[in-house]
Structure 1
């Protein structure tokens, strides 16, 4: 703060020295006071840059597999997972959190129909032991959450808990499409995953399988072979 005052005093002095022969541009006491207040007001906005302290503005993240957000976290919207059909070789590889109240576009005559719904594929060989056995062929919900007073969000694969200094948001399991299908991103699906609704039909859209480790190039230990991969979403 002392440095801020010093900068303002120097700036005012420079203006006065440069204009000592220019009566029309001399700064009165009230002008100097206004300049000081304006500088301090605007400089506070950049406090994080000048002091090294983080300025909390909030962060957003998708909570995969749930319709709502953790307690104390604002929900931006709830929706359904969308993605590319599991047999398609081109197009997008990321999953989308599609809101339940879309503003739909206009008809498109082409054949590039990429956006389909996500479905759980959690039969016993592909289901993490901590997840419900009844989710297979149900659509996958999602929620976009807003965590106030945080500036960073981090998904940590291979962990159930956050590191020291980070705030826990939710934990789950790493999931993706099957390795024999098209490439898809890894996402952290909530351990208490739920379906969009009671509809249960095998429509094979963007598929969510549990994944397991494969030791070799993956160092074991510390990892173990053929086990599910935990994940945790943390903020700071």
Structure 2
């Protein structure tokens, strides 16, 4: 590009010089001369423009994730909506295996008479002998909240089971405990529930649904070390 630009500049200078050295000082450029000069100027202008770096644009990209067990998002993240956890009832063979973050302001459909109830609420299933370290037994049978969060200028989100901190180069959104359904129920996704989880409200009734149980490790096929037998499974949600 520089070679072409230099060549075109020489051609342009030559045309102008020849015109100025013409015997007739009161010369008038011919249409072809003016056309050539205009073409050279346009070429040089556009070639110089291409060499300039483009302006920096502010990126609107980002990632979303669900913060299970909390009504708010971590500092620095925008809240898309807050809601309560739902999903298929724990004893059903069919249906989805994932937990859902259902918004608190739904747009409800028409009433139907067929029998295929799929979307239930969710409760913490805890007891004095089965609860994450530091949690109160009073959370038992209370409904689980959730919030969908948006983190700007990030391109990926990752939940790491078995850790409470992110690896180098990653940003921690929140950490907590890995929870899922009971091992005697039908399979459910694992979810990273915030370490400072809270209930939807103070309602206390054993209505089940898509329930959350704490999980723990079991050594054997799981190598110990590095893991430890029968301990809380920690987790962290990271973005980058």
The TM-score, its normalising length taken from structure 1, stands at: 0.79
Query: For 1:76 and 1:27, how far apart are their aligned partners in 2?
Result: 54
**1:177-228 C-alpha deviation (Å, 9 max, x unpaired):** 1000111000000010000001010001111000111111111110011111
Query: For 1:108 and 1:27, how far apart are their aligned partners in 2?
Result: 74
The structure 1 residue matched to 2:112, chosen from 108, 111, 120, is 108
Cα offset, 1:41, TM superposition: 5.8
The answer to whether residue 184 in structure 2 is matched with residue 180 in structure 1 is yes
Query: For 1:129 and 1:87, how far apart are their aligned partners in 2?
Result: 27
**1:123-173 C-alpha deviation (Å, 9 max, x unpaired):** 123211122321100000000001111111110000011111111110100
The answer to whether residue 163 in structure 2 is matched with residue 159 in structure 1 is yes
Cα offset, 1:57, TM superposition: 1.2
Query: For 2:148 and 2:41, how far apart are their aligned partners in 1?
Result: 53
Query: For 1:192 and 1:117, how far apart are their aligned partners in 2?
Result: 20
Q: What is the alpha-carbon root mean square deviation over aligned residues?
A: 2.6
The structure 2 residue matched to 1:134, chosen from 125, 133, 138, is 138
Gaps of 5+ in 1: 10-22, 46-54
The answer to whether residue 233 in structure 2 is matched with residue 220 in structure 1 is no
Name the residue aligned to 1:83.
Answer: 87
**1:71-125 C-alpha deviation (Å, 9 max, x unpaired):** 1211000000011101101110000000000011112222110100010001123
Query: For 1:132 and 1:155, how far apart are their aligned partners in 2?
Result: 25
Gaps of 5+ in 2: 6-34
Q: Which of the two has higher C-alpha Rg?
A: 2
Aligned residues: 204
Query: For 1:40 and 1:87, how far apart are their aligned partners in 2?
Result: 61
The TM-score, its normalising length taken from structure 2, stands at: 0.77
Cα offset, 1:40, TM superposition: 7.2
Query: For 1:59 and 1:224, how far apart are their aligned partners in 2?
Result: 33
Query: For 2:60 and 2:219, how far apart are their aligned partners in 1?
Result: 40
